[in-house]
Chains A and B, each alone.
Chain A
Amino acid sequence: EPEVTQTPSHQVTQMGQEVILRCVPISNHLYFYWYRQILGQKVEFLVSFYNNEISEKSEIFDDQFSVERPDGSNFTLKIRSTKLEDSAMYFCASSYSTGNNQPQHFGDGTRLSIL
């Protein structure tokens, strides 16, 4: 069964450094998402992406964050200057459409640790 893959599984970065989290969505999916889960808290929506542009973003997704689909297969989340509070598990998801019996499928996540 096709799946969403994320790399790396764990990323350790110094505060203030840039980090790029990578995702390969399911190949025929058109909608892409990033969520994050801070330890002990709920999974929170960050951003959705469709047709090469952001369709929705949360208030968490400020100017330090950006997303890109650099080629036909990868979907990346960049954090420009990381802060301690960016430490979390970051999940990528994809879906063929929004709702309409087409659920979002998630990757295994990237654990980001900011030192």
Chain B
Amino acid sequence: GQSLEQPSEVTAVEGAIVQINCTYQTSGFYGLSWYQQHDGGAPTFLSYNALDGLEETGRFSSFLSRSDSYGYLLLQELQMKDSASYFCAVEGSNYQLIWGAGTKLIIKP
């Protein structure tokens, strides 16, 4: 079957750096996306990786290794507003997005 694995919860301190990992097993792969969702809200797009390597967008970076079926989202200079759930999603062979269960990021002052 197709699946994505990510930690259910990660805790970090304000101002620190945190990495959220995602491993995937899918039939076909076109790209790995990351979305942020605050409690009760809608997911919002953060980043997309189709090729190996690091993509940087401000305080957020995303990494992909296709040979390892692995990616991560790196959040730097954490702020309290970054407290949210983060989802990885893989675009599979039929172009549909397959979603992970999400990682709840808890930030402590």
**A and B from one complex:** no
Chain A contact residues, CB within 8 Å of chain B: none
Chain B contact residues, CB within 8 Å of chain A: none
